[in-house]
Structure 1
Amino acid sequence: MTTTRFAPSPTGYIHIGNLRTALMNYLIARKAGGTFILRIDDTDPERSKEEYVDGIKQDLEWLGLHWDRVERQSLRLDRYAAAADDLRAKGRFYEAFETPTELDLKRKKQLNMGRPPVYDRAALDLSEVEKDRLRAERGDGVWRFKLDRERIEWTDGILGPISIDAASVSDPVLIRGDGQVLYTLASVVDDMEMGVTDIVRGSDHVTNTATQIQIIEALGGTPPAFAHHSLLTGPQGEALSKRLGTLALRDLRAQGVEPMALLSLMARLGSSDPVELRTEMAELIEGFDISHFGSAPTKFDERDLFPLTGRYLAGLPLEAVAERIAALGVPEAERAAFWEVTRENIATLGDLEGWWRLMQDGAEPLVDPEDRDFVAEAMALLPDAPYDTGTWSTWTAAVKDKTGRKGKALFMPLRKAVTGQERGPEMAALMPLLRVVRARG
């Protein structure tokens, strides 16, 4: 059975980059009728916070990305310890004691000599006496996995054939000196024991994947299928890393972005398929194909989410927004008409408030200097409220007869004077909802 996972660290809220990974893994599992695991990577007790665990779950639920089960790495430390013992017994795990400063000096020396800055495995030459002395002086060392220095190859679901020379990669640290198990080991053990068959993650993990393939094989497992999606950039190709904090899903939600608008964009962004608004998760699942994604950096512009949100909202029935409209104070008898007038003229539901305020209090007139006399003359012909569906045509016909204006020169100045906007709903439908027109005053 196809099994995928999303493994966020609860050190912050989910941002748009995390969502790309979560969504791809979710869609693969659902399309295959498989299992989607939410795995909380909380092995770092200092940085992991329960509020972020709750926040991650809330964001996924808001999007409709429902998991089949939750796992927490902090509850599986015994499994990682057992795997570490297994690697030690097989001669693939060794303790190293270099300080960060010493490692930095080694890297600089190698670079100056034109060599790749790879850990030199000096710790393998330490005697037990020397190790005891270093432990006494510095405390416990880190534990490194001893790579087989051969080529590591796999066929990536997005990048195609990958081949990495393990001799160009440092033996990865899997356990820190303070005993904290790092992601590289914990993830491998979990993927093996949870039967994960497919893993999609960012292209910045390619080298990490190579080392994990060797660790899996050293522990007697079979590597899953890997796919590495491109990283997101800003609309001009700039790095998103400094802006991800402002692209948290909860911030986009607060701005009024609708889940299906966000999912519709992210399910196609970076692929050869066009972005199309979908209104049901089943449509996204059916149309998803990981092989259609490319390796080039993918431009993301959050402004694209608002036209999609507007189109999604325009297709909703009154029942879906009735509670929001009622909260504005719109009388029940007017709610259907209010929604019909506004549904195609909003980017988010938050825009409804502005339309209701305009209908109640009128809008600040928008009058061009050359139209000032014309608007004043026209407003003298507008009767007092209440208005009906015939008011607009009757009024504009009277204004046309008196001023001789017609077409856009007639209608646009009047729209701007009544609504304060150049675009908006059909005026015939809007007029019956207007309590007052400020331009009359």
Structure 2
Amino acid sequence: MNVTVRFAPSPTGNIHIGNARTALFNWLFARKSGGRFIQRFDDTDRERSKQEYADRILYDLHWLGIFPDHVDYQSKRFAHYDAAVEKLKAAGLLYPCYETPDELELKRKIRLSRKLPPVYGREALALSADERASLEAEGRKPHWRFLLPNHAGDPSETQRTDISWTDLVRGEETVDLASLSDPVLVREDGSYLYTLPSVVDDIEMGVTHVIRGDDHITNTGVQIALFKALAAEPPVFGHHNLLTSATGEGLSKRSGALSIASLRDDGIEPMSVASLAVLTGSSEAITAVSSLEELAQKFEPSAASRSAARFDPADLVLLNRTILQNMPFEKVRDRLVAFGIGGPQAEEFWLAVRGNLDRLADAAVWWRVVSQGTRPGIDFSDADRAFLDEAFDLLPEEPWNGETWKAWTRAVKDKTDRKGKALFRPLRLALTGLESGPELSDLLPLLGREETLARRP
């Protein structure tokens, strides 16, 4: 089987890390299987869907390292959905309904009061042609429901009808169609809801595996029935657990919380996002993975747990630190230029400071420390100032290397009897103006003897 997957968000806002989880599950599954990844935009809601959001979603995916093999828009495929509607109508599987939302809510309450499941009772199927004509003469326009195959011939007498499948993530799953209302596929205004376009596209685009959030499990029972009604073999389904905030709150494109764009603007690396999005809520330990290729080797859909996957955004910073700490200079050279970091010392500088960065932009702080050529303005005590006078008198001659710091501080210790914090803190403050940072054994050769002496208090 040639694997084909798809990621099909609505372009109604920026995608967040939870959406990225679904996209990455599909992308990694396709890469691991040598398959194809289709980017499909569910943009049938013309009022809320915007091309600018579709463009941003593509940009976010590219930033993560996901490059679709094909991009399509449901808004360009209405003729295909229209044809499917006519096929279902001809088979007697799509029927018109005229109830208003208020009438449907009243019927739901009546069924509940009778201890019946709050599902649609298929009253519209009993309407005669004259009754339908009368309702339409009143100005009512029908919405259209798909008749679920949960009966033995008489739709008014439903019976338990299990739709089962082996879920790629969760194992054996079953949905009883008798527990569901016939889904509305076409609204009163003729626009389509999610279900029909999704199934039609999956059929015509040759989608073999549908991997999505576990909030779609019930939809899957309906969709499998719809695939069969359209004489198509359903794809393999997989439903992963959803990401929630550390407090258990769901994520939303509308709120913009933890959007990929906001994480990028905050200086989080793509692989930090990908590592957390994929490994959270799985049997794999959350580690900083350096590439999608490496992540694909770790990825196993069935490793996702059945419960919601809570994550703490603070974990992204920890992953980011590890990603940067192991990032080679060749991979970051061009990005450093944007912060004014370049020249013959750039690689040596990067290797010296990368272990102390939460975000790449933090490197600019240390570049200024190394290259600004001005003495840090620290108000030292008289004792520390006297100590530093002695220390700077003991600076070794050049050339300097990674052993210079050790040789210098050994000589200072022998001369002043200072050790530990009393020895190292004043020297660090004099050289950098900061309490902590990269190893001074790495920074000292970057400063050089002349610049080091210039920082003498």
When normalised by structure 2's length, the TM-score is: 0.87
Q: Supply the distance in 2 between the matched residues of 1:10 and 1:364 (Cα, whole angstroms).
A: 52
Tell me if structure 2 keeps the 8 A contact 1:261–1:305.
yes
Alignment of structure 1 residues 113-132 onto 2, 5 Å: 113-132=114-133
Which residue does the alignment assign to 1:13? 14
Alignment of structure 1 residues 301-320 onto 2, 5 Å: 301-320=312-331
Q: Supply the distance in 2 between the matched residues of 1:15 and 1:154 (Cα, whole angstroms).
A: 29
The one-letter code of the counterpart of 1:281 is L
Tell me if structure 2 keeps the 8 A contact 1:16–1:244.
no
Q: Supply the distance in 2 between the matched residues of 1:288 and 1:309 (Cα, whole angstroms).
A: 20
Q: Supply the distance in 2 between the matched residues of 1:214 and 1:137 (Cα, whole angstroms).
A: 34
Alignment of structure 1 residues 411-426 onto 2, 5 Å: 411-416=424-429, 418-426=431-439
Which residue does the alignment assign to 1:234? 245
Q: Supply the distance in 2 between the matched residues of 1:185 and 1:247 (Cα, whole angstroms).
A: 30
Q: Say whether 1:431 aligns with 2:431.
A: no
Pairing partner for 1:296 from 294, 307, 313: 307
The one-letter code of the counterpart of 2:111 is Q
1:19 Cα deviation after fit: 0.8
Q: Say whether 1:326 aligns with 2:337.
A: yes
Which residue does the alignment assign to 2:387? 378
Distance 1:168 1:413, change over 3 A: farther
Which residue does the alignment assign to 1:170? 181
Distance 1:327 1:206, change over 3 A: closer
Pairing partner for 1:400 from 399, 405, 413: 413
Q: Supply the distance in 1 between the matched residues of 2:16 and 2:302 (Cα, whole angstroms).
A: 24
The one-letter code of the counterpart of 1:186 is P
1:283-328 deviation line (CA, Å, top 9, x unaligned)? 2223321122211110122222223222222333333322333344
Runs (4+) off by over 6 Å:
384-387, 436-439
Tell me if structure 2 keeps the 8 A contact 1:260–1:278.
yes
Which residue does the alignment assign to 2:278? 267
Q: Supply the distance in 2 between the matched residues of 1:437 and 1:410 (Cα, whole angstroms).
A: 18
Distance 1:233 1:131, change over 3 A: same
Distance 1:27 1:75, change over 3 A: same
The number of residue pairs the alignment matches comes to 437
1:176-225 deviation line (CA, Å, top 9, x unaligned)? 11111111000011111111111111111111111111111111111111
1:38 Cα deviation after fit: 0.8
1:367-408 deviation line (CA, Å, top 9, x unaligned)? 8xxx94543333333549999557744654465356532124
**What's the % identity of the aligned pairs?**
49
Between 1:343-352 and 1:259-268, the stretch displaced more is 259-268
Question: What SS does the aligned partner of 1:98 have?
Answer: coil
Structure 2: gaps of 5 or more residues: 151-160
1:281 Cα deviation after fit: 2.5
Q: Supply the distance in 1 between the matched residues of 2:316 and 2:453 (Cα, whole angstroms).
A: 33
Q: Supply the distance in 2 between the matched residues of 1:116 and 1:126 (Cα, whole angstroms).
A: 22
Tell me if structure 2 keeps the 8 A contact 1:2–1:34.
yes
Which residue does the alignment assign to 1:210? 221
Structure 1: gaps of 5 or more residues: none
Which residue does the alignment assign to 2:297? 286
Distance 1:331 1:99, change over 3 A: closer
1:249 Cα deviation after fit: 0.8
1:240 Cα deviation after fit: 3.6
Q: Supply the distance in 2 between the matched residues of 1:373 and 1:210 (Cα, whole angstroms).
A: 79
Question: What SS does the aligned partner of 1:247 have?
Answer: coil
When normalised by structure 1's length, the TM-score is: 0.90
Distance 1:48 1:242, change over 3 A: closer
Question: What SS does the aligned partner of 2:390 have?
Answer: coil
Q: Supply the distance in 2 between the matched residues of 1:237 and 1:186 (Cα, whole angstroms).
A: 32
Alignment of structure 1 residues 91-106 onto 2, 5 Å: 91-106=92-107
Q: Supply the distance in 2 between the matched residues of 1:199 and 1:229 (Cα, whole angstroms).
A: 11
Between 1:146-155 and 1:82-91, the stretch displaced more is 146-155
Which residue does the alignment assign to 2:346? 335
Q: Supply the distance in 1 between the matched residues of 2:341 and 2:215 (Cα, whole angstroms).
A: 51
Q: Supply the distance in 2 between the matched residues of 1:120 and 1:262 (Cα, whole angstroms).
A: 46
Q: Say whether 1:225 aligns with 2:226.
A: no
Q: Supply the distance in 1 between the matched residues of 2:438 and 2:84 (Cα, whole angstroms).
A: 65
Distance 1:381 1:167, change over 3 A: same
1:59 Cα deviation after fit: 1.2
Distance 1:155 1:324, change over 3 A: closer
Between 1:108-117 and 1:159-168, the stretch displaced more is 108-117
Question: What SS does the aligned partner of 2:165 have?
Answer: strand
Q: Supply the distance in 1 between the matched residues of 2:327 and 2:409 (Cα, whole angstroms).
A: 32
1:6-44 deviation line (CA, Å, top 9, x unaligned)? 111111122111111111111112211111111111111
